[in-house]
Amino acid sequence: MLDPRAIKQDPEPFRYNLSRRGMDTSPIDEFLKLDERRKETQVESEELRNVRNTASKEIGILKREGKDIAEQSAEVKKIGDRIKELEAELSGIEARTSEILACIPNLPHPDVPDGLDEGHNVELRSFGEKKYFSFTPVPHWELGESLGIIDQQGAVKISGTRFVVMKGKGAALERALINFMLDLHTNEHGYTEILPPYLANKETLFATGQLPKFEEDLFKTTGDPPFYLIPTAEVPVTNLYRDEIIDGELLPVRFAGYSACFRSEAGAAGRDTRGLTRVHQFNKVELISFTRPEESYNELERMTSCAEKVLQLLEIPYRVMLICIGDLGFSAAKKYDLEYWAPGQERWVEVSSLSNCTDFQARRGKIRFRPETNAKPALVHTLNGSGLAVGRTLAAVLENYQREDGSVEIPRALRPYMNGTEEITPA
RNA sequence: GGAGAGGUGGCUGAGUGGUCGAAGGCGCGCGAUUGGAAAUCGCGUAGGGGUAGCACAACUGCCCCUCGUGGGUUCAAAUCCCACCCUCUCCGCCA
């Protein structure tokens, strides 16, 4: 959520933000108009409350003196009725206002390039060389099938399309990747490990920005109130500090959360229909930071290098993309993607997305800190980034480590996590 | 699921209709004391919003709201009533 006061003070940057994103700027104007009405209504209702509070105190005194209060009571009751009317109007205005505010995306950092789609993302740097193969490398889903480690049929039978069953060494490799990533981030990068709930309430999803606007992307349980299946550990872990005032001394706070992630992939019909790239359920190790406002962009660089380290240790070629305004997403002010090179598909595939959400989520979730002892609480900045998406990393390993005979070498960094296994050969 | 207890400030904990945004304690800040510190003493210390002063911010004044959430009763609600959520204890069921 954006700062309503900032919008009132100077709406122009906010209109510009929306138009850069290719969106309609009318919510800003509707907000400003509604806020005028809110002000009038609120002032009137508060004035009346003041009158009533004063009168009520007087009645209290009269009553204690044993005097008749019938006349005054009736008078004040009328004021009360009028206050109720105004309140009803006010709450209607406020509901609409917060609905509008809740649906306006974050303001981007000045570095964020123009452009409405991923074609305008900017490559910042890359790591490693695309590996040379003396044969034609195949996509990971073919390797998964021939090696007997990904059971596509089984997944369809159990659940449907866009699910996977990992089997044998494939399951072990997935588990190894999770442990490898968690160990790296907790032992080397100073993150505290979190294993969060996979179901969350609507307040939680609101704070991180999935609700109310993107409900169709989520799975939701029946029952009242419903739960939502988390689309990323960012959601529960960021909410650990919802409605809290963090001791300023503790910042930055860094968490590494492993979780399964659930996404409906509404609107992705036909895209990435095969393999591990786009499924309804996948594993991810997520990095989450809470920082002082002035630290958040440094933290984004640091977090990005932590995620990059995973690919570097696995020796998988990747590039770092600066995400353009149209591809930025709702909550982020600046975002980097890491894309690995998939030789079997001859394309770059996103394996990590790292965002500085500035105070956008913090305002929605009232996540604050005390800058100094006895100072007023201020909003923290929140950041999140994949470190990494495990299924896609597994695909990256398979495609980059495949051999002509159909076997796959296990990256050296993962062998300690697989009881020394050096390769996966066809069953 | 059944029975009971309870949700109050950064924390703890009093408060059963008005003078309560709220005693006491802890913590924290400032000051006194000290060579310095500890101890002690004094003062201060919730959050949000509106409005006026103001170019803005800072600050100051006035006002409103907030004692789990939402309704209700009342001239007036932390306090009474209803619903819901959450926590704890016991019982039942269960991985």
Distance set, CA A222 to CA A65, A160, A196, A219 (Å): 59, 20, 21, 10
Distance set, CA A346 to CA A131, A136, A266, A279, A336 (Å): 11, 11, 26, 20, 21
Query: Residue A69 CA to nucleotide B25 C1', Å?
Result: 41
Catalytic entry in A259, A353, A355, A386: A353
Query: Residue A413 CA to nucleotide B59 C1', Å?
Result: 58
Return the sign of the alpha-carbon dihedral for residues A256, A261, A266, A267: positive
Catalytic entry in A162, A254, A263, A368: A263
Place of tokens 């980034």: A385
Please determine, for residue A132, whether its predicted confidence score (pLDDT) is greater than 80: yes
- Please determine, for the modelled complex, whether the ipTM score is greater than 0.85: no
For the residues A234-241, what does the mean pLDDT come to? Answer: 92
For the residues A191-205, what does the mean pLDDT come to? Answer: 91
Listed by start position, the domains of chain A span 4-102, 118-424
Nearest nt to the CA of A81 via C1' is: B75
In angstroms, the CA A409 to CA A400 distance is 9
For nucleic chain B, give residues with Cβ below 7 angstroms from it.
Answer: A 4-5, 9, 39, 42-43, 46-47, 49-50, 52-57, 59-60, 63-64, 69, 72-73, 76-77, 80, 91, 225, 245, 368, 373-374, 376-377
For the residues A126-133, what does the mean pLDDT come to? Answer: 95
- What is residue A67's predicted lDDT score, i.e. its pLDDT? 80
Backbone angles phi, psi at A234, to 5 degrees: -50, -40
Listed as ranges, the nucleotides of chain B within 7 A of a protein C-beta are 10, 18-19, 28-29, 44-45, 47-51, 56-57, 63-65, 71, 74-76, 85
**8 Å CB contact between A291 and A251:** yes
Report the CATH number of the A4-102 domain.
1.10.287.40
Query: Residue A373 CA to nucleotide B32 C1', Å?
Result: 22
Non-local (6+) Cβ contacts of A416 within 8 A are: none
Look up the pTM and report it.
0.92
In angstroms, the CA A425 to CA A404 distance is 11
Using pLDDT thresholds of 50, 70 and 90, give the confidence band for residue A97: confident
Mean model confidence pLDDT for chain A? 92
Task: Tell me if residue A350 is catalytic.
Answer: yes
Short-list A293, A386, A358, A380, CA closest to A112: A358
**8 Å CB contact between A331 and A383:** no
**8 Å CB contact between A275 and A140:** yes
Q: How many CA atoms lie within 13 A of A26 on its CB side?
A: 1
Query: Residue A214 CA to nucleotide B3 C1', Å?
Result: 42
In angstroms, the CA A89 to CA A97 distance is 12
Backbone angles phi, psi at A288, to 5 degrees: -135, 130
Distance set, CA A304 to CA A176, A286, A311, A377 (Å): 22, 12, 11, 28
Catalytic entry in A15, A49, A175, A278: A278
Higher pLDDT, A312 or A49: A312
Nearest nt to the CA of A75 via C1' is: B75
- What is residue A71's predicted lDDT score, i.e. its pLDDT? 83
Query: Residue A205 CA to nucleotide B77 C1', Å?
Result: 34
Distance set, CA A378 to CA A164, A208, A248, A363 (Å): 44, 18, 10, 10
Residues A214-233 pLDDT 10s? 999 999 988 777 889 999 99
Task: Tell me if residue A129 is catalytic.
Answer: no
Same fold, A4-102 and A118-424: no
Domain A118-424, CATH homologous superfamily name and number:
Bira Bifunctional Protein; Domain 2 (3.30.930.10)
